[in-house]
Structure 1
Amino acid sequence: MELTRRSALLAFATTAALGLSACATSTTGTSSSSASASSATAAFPVTVKHIYGETVIDAAPAKIATVSWVNADVVLALGVVPAGMAKDAWGQNAYNSTDWKDAKLKELGAEIGSDNAPVQYDEADGINFDEIAKLQPDLIVAAYSGLTQEEYTKLSKIAKVIGPVAAAYTAPWQDSTLAIGQALGKESEAKALIETVEKQLTDAGEANPVLKESTYIAGNLEPATGGINIYTSGDNRSRFLSSLGMTESPIVEANKEADAFYFNWSAERADELAADVFFTWLPEGTTVDDVKNDSLLGQIPAAKTGGLVAESSQALTLAVSASSPLSLPWALDQVVPNIVKGAEAAKAAK
């Protein structure tokens, strides 16, 4: 069982330390019309609540630094070009970014490598306070993060901070999107964005009725060690499956601890994990057959019926685990077909 520094994000998914990112708003005017800018200005002052209190923002921030790439995704999704962001250290593409982030940057005329591109810096080992300070931001956003009280206090010496809206990377993407929208003076745009992405998820479920008829367990399987970790409704993977209309297996609710986003499960009890679909990430080089052929993991009911849905792509895992209004639409076409296939196989086996 592997627990990274960002355990709530991709617990047991990788040994790589997942970097934190920082970004700031563009002042070029490419991200919004004068009308929307005027509307944003009129929105202030605003008060944004988070786990460390409340942050009052008196005027539209000119430069915004963000901690964690999900926050950068949201800033981009709301039409703001980052001035700086960390290199993605897990699930990254050739540009040390993500495909969904790059697509939005291109749309906004700020492709990596261009004059308008965000500055990328290394934060694989933790928050890069020095680089954030160099940006001279007037607001630091960490709505989705594992920011500690100590880190929050230290960042607050640089600029006002929007702390995590829920502890340790457990904030639903809707909550972090709304908080960031409020901080940018774009609350109405954030609400519209949430509705749009939620409809895309709902539509994907309605287009595949078998999903509404299926139960699921979201977990992480490690054939090399026999490890089983089960994610609860407080985790983004479970939220993703639920948003498609699927129903969480009762065994998850019956065994979770209060407020925990995951729990360990003994491989000797693998046969008790009854669900039509078992959705899991597999370490690189591991296949579904490795699970099926394992004397213990192979006893998971979904492994026998064809309902075992495994993703080995770090990018796809990141897109669902670190859900954002940019990553979810990107992931739908690539992930949902496999889930549908697994659900159909499980129904056929019955």
Structure 2
Amino acid sequence: MNRGPLTRGGAIAAGALSILMLAACGGSASDAEEGGSGEAAEGFPVTVETLFGDVEIEDRPTDVAALGWSDAETALALGVQPVGVADWQGYGGAGVGPWAADLLDEEPVQLGTMEPNLEAIASLEPDVILDTRSDHTQERNELLSPVAPVVGPPPGVEVTYGTTWQEQTRQVARVLGEDARGEELVEELEGRFAQAREDNPDFEGMTIAVGAYFDGQYGAYVPGDARVDLLEELGFENKPEITEMAEDAFYVDLSPELLEVLDADLTVVFPIGDEETTRFLHEDPVLQGIPSAEDGRLLIMDDPDLANAFSSGSTLGVTHALEGVVPLLQESLGS
């Protein structure tokens, strides 16, 4: 499992000019085949508002490159098979979580994450590139745009990787001509959250701190990250002190001296790595010494599938996470 992207900027491989040429060659062949093929599908063209300006989608996409975090799972939830995916959470194989893998007819091409494989993307001749949750840099958008129309996050998303599952679902649904189905997915999952809040009124207003341990380094997530957003939708409030430390990023590193900032009404920590990482968290005297841990209000998310679902930020993954995490929260809080 990936704790989340570990850089603030979008580093993309060099060679953009050659990729542009490849995309142009591929596009000309496709245009020749489709010339005079008839009118656009019903409801098209559509205009999609993005952080980088309006994007025109001329016809219903059939070949979709899903490059943003959970864009592939979102497309699958809307009934569309992506031809290429970015495996942000290191699943391997299909590049999506087990809650979504059964929806694939065949394994899509792997396209890279923070450094997209532009040649692989261009070779697929995609109708559209979905990049609704990434580092949200102009550089990344400009280097992908010569290959195909790029649909990034909607306007107003400020935190890197901070597109909510609602925004992502609606953005992708708009691209695919599935607005009605997108709203159904949003309403269904929001209904699950509402029911969970009703069933667990004690969650309301309790403070949370959501941390991670990766490669010998502790850190904490803030609102805009899928993990914190999920807990806030259950009624919890992220600890303000941590949010202030992040300065519009989704994550902040914590030195051992600062680890007590993770003390809250409920502390949730993600071990990112192997079983040794998980074992370390259960035994680390610094973590185990913060007040919430001493009081039994520390939840270490050591089920890899549940942790990945918790982190996915897609309707499919969040639904899976919600089913598993609520009982663990109840147990940790003694409710």
Q: What is the TM-score when the length of structure 1 is the normalising length?
A: 0.75
Please tell me the root mean square deviation across aligned C-alpha atoms, in Å: 2.9
Q: After the TM superposition, which of the residue ranges 77-86 and 187-196 deviates more from structure 2?
A: 77-86
- 1:193 matched to 2:182? The reply is no
Cα distance in 1 between the residues matched to 2:3 and 2:88:
16
- Contact kept, 8 Å, 1:217 with 1:279, in 2: the verdict is yes
> C-alpha distance in 1, partners of 2:278/2:265?
16
In the alignment, is residue 161 of structure 1 matched against residue 177 of structure 2? Answer: no
Match of 2:110 among 121, 124, 128: 121
Match for residue 303 of structure 1? 293
Match of 1:79 in 2: 79
2:164 alignment partner in structure 1: 172
CA deviation after TM superposition for structure 1 residue 136, in Å:
1.6
Q: 1:60 to 1:336 in 2, by over 3 A?
A: same
The structural deviation recorded for 1:149 is: 2.8
Structure 1 unaligned runs (5+)?
Answer: 9-39, 111-116
Q: d(CA) in 2 for partners of 1:269 and 1:338?
A: 26
| Residue equivalent to 1:134 | 123
1:217 CA drift (Å)? 0.9
Of stretches 118-127 and 174-183 in structure 1, the one that deviates more from structure 2 is: 118-127
Q: How far off its partner does 1:157 sit?
A: 1.6
Tell me the CA shift for residue 264 of structure 1. Answer: 3.2
The percent of aligned pairs where both chains have the same amino acid is 30
Give the match for residue 91 of structure 2. Answer: 92
Contact 2:73 2:96 in 1 (8 A): no
Structure 2: any 5+ residue segments left out of the alignment?
9-39
Q: Aligned partners of 2:111 and 2:57: how far apart in 1?
A: 28
Give the alignment partner of residue 229 of structure 2, picking from 239, 249, 258. Answer: 239
CA change 1:69–1:261 in 2 (3 A) is closer
Q: Where in structure 1 do 4 or more consecutive aligned residues deviate above 6 Å?
A: none
State yes or no: 1:294 paired with 2:293: no
State the AA in 2 paired with 1:294: D
Conserved 8 A contact 2:48-2:56:
yes
C-alpha distance 250-67 of structure 1, shift in aligned 2 (>3 A): closer
Kindly indicate whether the alpha-carbon contact (under 8 Å) linking 2:48 and 2:151 is maintained by their aligned counterparts in 1. Answer: yes
Query: Taking structure 1 as reference, are residues 122 and 60 closer, same or farther at Cα in structure 2, changes over 3 Å only?
Result: closer
Work out which of the residue numbers 267, 282, 287 in structure 2 matches 1:278: 267
The Cα of 1:313 is off from its aligned counterpart by 3.8
User: 1:154-185, CA deviations, whole angstroms, 9 ceiling, x for partnerless residues?
Assistant: 32222111123335311111111111111112
Distance (Å, rounded) in 2 between the aligned partners of 1:147 and 1:213: 31
SS at the partner of 2:102?
helix
Is 1:319 the equivalent of 2:318? no
Aligned equivalents of 2:237 and 2:4: distance in 1?
Answer: 28
CA distance in 2 between counterparts of 1:335 and 1:266 reads 27
Q: Does 1:265 align with 2:254?
A: yes
Q: Is 1:214–1:343's contact at 8 Å kept on the other side of the alignment?
A: no
Give the letter for the 1:179 counterpart: Q
- Secondary structure of 1:123's counterpart equals coil
Q: Give a deviation string over 1:279-324, Cα, whole Å, max 9, x none.
A: 1101422477744643422222211111111113443333222310
Task: Flag the 1:342–1:289 CA change in 2: closer, same or farther, 3 A.
Answer: farther
SS at the partner of 1:42? coil
Alpha carbons of structure 1 residues 84 and 235: separation in structure 2 relative to 1, 3 Å: closer
The worse-fitting range, judged by mean Cα deviation, of 91-100 and 188-197 is 91-100
Count of matched residue pairs: 299
Please list the CA deviations of residues 66-123 of structure 1 after superposition, one character each: whole Å capped at 9, or x if unmatched. 213511111111111223335x374526655420111333xxxx2xxxxxx2433363
CA distance in 1, matches of 2:69, 2:261: 36
**Cα separation, 2, equivalents of 1:199 and 1:76:** 21
**Shift of residue 333 of structure 1?**
2.1
Map of 1:13 onto structure 2: none
The alignment's TM-score, normalised by the length of structure 2, stands at 0.78
1:181 aligned residue: 173
